[in-house]
Amino acid sequence: MIPHTTPACQTDSWQKTLQQAIRDPAELLALLELPRELLPAARRAASRFPLRVPRGYASRIQKGDPADPLLLQILPLQQEMQTTPGYHADPVGDVAAMPLPGLLHKYAGRVLLITTGACGIHCRYCFRRDFPYAAARPDQGEWQAALDYIAADTSIREVILSGGDPLSLSDARLAELVQRLEAIPHLQRLRLHTRFPVILPERVNRKLLTWLARCRLQKIMVVHTNHANEIDRPVTEALRTIGKQGVTLLNQAVLLRGINDNPEALCGLSESLFTAGVLPYYLHQLDKIQGASHFAVEDATAVDLLQQLRQQLPGYLVPRLVRELTGEAAKIPLESRNFL
C-alpha cells in the first residue's frame, strides 16, 4: 500500500489527489444526490469559508442522506450565517498567546508551531476558520525565530507541529524542520496534530515514514476523527503503518450536535480507532467560534454522554472531555468541580 518514492522535483501522488478535492458546492450536491435547494445557502456559506473535501472522504458519505455524520462536517449550511452572542473569531485566545509569529506557548513544557494555514479538508466547526494565518505564519518557511525561542528555553520538552495541518507541507520541508528541531538538545518529544491519515490516507507514503523513522525524538501523532464512518480500510491500514514506526497514536474528536452526540456514535468511534491502533485522547467541547453554534452540545448533556461511555467501554477507550478556556494553564476537564 505504500507508493514508491518519486524524485523530489515531481509532485507526489497525494498532492495530485489533494488538488482534485471537491471545492464546488454544486458538484458535491450532485455527486451525493442531495437536494438542489441546499445550493444557494451552501454557496453563501462557502464564500466565507470555502468548501474543501477530498474525493476519497466524500466516497465515505452515504448518498442521498442530508444527515450523514461525515457530510455534516464538511457541507456549508445556512446556519453558519447566523450571528450568535458569546461566539467569537478567536475563541481560545490564540493570537494573544503568540510570542512570535506562528509559535504558541500557552502550556508548560510544550509549544505549538503553526506550520501552515492549509488543511486537506475544511471542517465547518473549525475553531481556526477565521484565524489570521497570514499574520501568524513565519515568512517563507523561515523557522529561525521559533527555533531560537525553543533553544533558549530549556523548560520546553515537546514541540507540537500544528496548523492548519502540518502534513499539508511537503516531506522535504517537514524533514528539514524536524532535523533542526532534533538538534535542540533539551527537546524530547515531537508531536504532530494532523487529520491527513483520516482524510487522505495516501498521505502516509514512504517519504513521510522515512523522516519519521529517522527522527531521534519520541513521536506522538494526534489525529482528528469524529465518527467511526471516517475510518475505512485504507485509513486503518495507514494508521497501523504509522504505529509500526513506533509512533504513539492518539485521537482528538470534537463533540458535535447531530454528528456524534450519542453513546452509539462515540462507542463506535473509540472501537474503530482502537482497531487501527489509536487511543482516544480528547473529546473537545466546541470552541465558541462564530458560525459554528449549531454544532454545540450542552455541557450537562456532554457530561451525561461521558458517563454512559464509561459504563460501556474499558477505561482506556473513554476520551477526556475537555474545554479550552482563554488564560487557563491547560485544557479543562468538564467533569471537574469547575463546571459542576
Ligand X SMILES: *Cc1c(COP(=O)(O)O)cnc(C)c1O
Closest separation in Å from C-beta 304 to ligand X: 24
Residue numbers at the binding site for ligand SF4 (CB under 6 A): 119, 121-123, 126, 128, 164-165, 195, 224
192 binds ligand X (CB under 6 A): no
Long-range contacts formed by 31-36: CB under 8 A, 24+ apart: 31/58, 32/58, 32/61, 32/63, 32/64, 32/71, 33/63, 33/64, 34/64, 34/66, 34/71, 35/66
Closest separation in Å from C-beta 282 to ligand SF4: 13
Q: Which is nearer to ligand X, 203 or 331 (CB)?
A: 331
Instruction: Among 42, 72, 160, 276, indicate the residue that binds ligand X (CB under 6 A).
Output: 160
Q: At what angle do helices 263-275 and 299-312 cross, to 10 degrees?
A: 50
Closest separation in Å from C-beta 311 to ligand X: 26
Q: Which is nearer to ligand SF4, 122 or 137 (CB)?
A: 122
Closest separation in Å from C-beta 132 to ligand SF4: 14
150 binds ligand X (CB under 6 A): no
330 binds ligand X (CB under 6 A): yes
Closest separation in Å from C-beta 30 to ligand X: 38
Phi, psi of 85, deg, nearest 5: -60, 145
Q: Taking CB within 5 to 8 Å according to partner kind, which of ligand SF4, ligand X, none is near residue 165?
A: ligand SF4
Q: Taking CB within 5 to 8 Å according to partner kind, which of ligand SF4, ligand X, none is near residue 106?
A: ligand X
Q: Which is nearer to ligand SF4, 265 or 313 (CB)?
A: 265
Phi, psi of 221, deg, nearest 5: -115, 125
Q: Which is nearer to ligand SF4, 32 or 123 (CB)?
A: 123
H and E: helices and strands count for the chain: 13, 9
List the x/- string, 98-127, binding to ligand X by CB under 6 A: ------x-xx--x-x---------------
Q: Which is nearer to ligand SF4, 295 or 313 (CB)?
A: 295
Q: Taking CB within 5 to 8 Å according to partner kind, which of ligand SF4, ligand X, none is near residue 119?
A: ligand SF4
Tally of CB atoms within 10 A around 67: 9
Distance of CA 288 to CAs 27, 88, 140, 292, 313, Å? 30, 6, 31, 7, 29
Tally of CB atoms within 10 A around 239: 26
Burial class (CB in 10 A: 0-12, 13-18, 19+), 212: buried
Rounded to an integer, what distance in angstroms lies between the CA atom of residue 54 and that of residue 81? 24
Q: Taking CB within 5 to 8 Å according to partner kind, which of ligand SF4, ligand X, none is near residue 60?
A: none
Rounded to an integer, what distance in angstroms lies between the CA atom of residue 270 and that of residue 275? 9
Quick one: cell of 34?
442531495
Encoded amino acid at 80, one letter: E
Q: Taking CB within 5 to 8 Å according to partner kind, which of ligand SF4, ligand X, none is near residue 122?
A: ligand SF4
Q: Which residues bind ligand X (CB under 6 A)?
A: 104, 106-107, 110, 112, 160, 330-331
